[in-house]
Amino acid sequence: MGQVFGCVQVKQSKVAVRERFGKFDGVLQPGGHCVPWCFGYEVAGEVSLRVQQIWFKCEAKTKDNVFVNVTTSVQFRPSAEQVEDAFYKVKNTTHQIQAYVFSAIRASVAKLELDAVFEEKNGIAKAVQGDLEKAMSAYGYEMIETLIVDIMPDDSVKKAMNENAAAKEKLGTAHQRKPKEEL
């Protein structure tokens, strides 16, 4: 019934994109609005302003030629001031963000040896966040937080690291058990 009279309702935490004869005309905030279709106005779509979260798992090679799987969480939302860009400039936001995340992770991890990758987890996350903020702000998106959730080397590498740590521990306890010389 609302469409007959040209009335639309925009729900809370969303905004609607209004067009006139197919051209962007403005953003409708939450609430009721008159959009008279007989004068060429229409609602082209809605944009949710809620924070969204996506997860990525990226394989990268370290400086010492070890492959690791890096699990990343990215939290983002469309900018309320750039709704037009968020609606029209990017068709698939997830794929766009994924491309930047993979590129930034592979570039950061390639500069570090395996042990340093674990130590520099926050540094890698900041590098990814910086690259995302620069790239996605042009498309009307705000990057809230980027987290490196997990770093997993290949199973054979984990096994070798565990064996190496066990051997070091065994060697350390053997030195402690040396018999003391009697006076």
The pLDDT tens digits for 109-142 are 999 998 899 999 999 999 999 999 999 999 999 9
In this prediction, residue 169 carries a pLDDT of 72
Q: What is the mean pLDDT of each run of 10 residues along the chain (183 residues)?
A: 72 96 95 90 95 96 92 96 95 94 95 92 95 95 96 78 72 59 49
Contact 129, 148 (CB under 8 A): no
In angstroms, rounded to a whole number, what is the distance separating the alpha carbons of residues 124 and 72?
A: 10
58 part of a folded domain: yes
In this prediction, residue 154 carries a pLDDT of 80
Domain hosting residue 113, numbered range: 52-162
In this prediction, residue 183 carries a pLDDT of 45
In angstroms, rounded to a whole number, what is the distance separating the alpha carbons of residues 113 and 24?
A: 50
10 part of a folded domain: yes
In angstroms, rounded to a whole number, what is the distance separating the alpha carbons of residues 104 and 130?
A: 9
In this prediction, residue 57 carries a pLDDT of 96
In angstroms, rounded to a whole number, what is the distance separating the alpha carbons of residues 155 and 176?
A: 32
Structural domains in the chain (count):
2
Q: Which two tokens stand for residue 116?
A: 């340093």
| pTM for the predicted model, two decimal places | 0.79
Are residues 43 and 56 located together in one domain of the fold?
no
Are residues 32 and 70 located together in one domain of the fold?
no
131 part of a folded domain: yes
Are residues 34 and 66 located together in one domain of the fold?
no
In this prediction, residue 37 carries a pLDDT of 87
In this prediction, residue 156 carries a pLDDT of 73
Are residues 68 and 150 located together in one domain of the fold?
yes
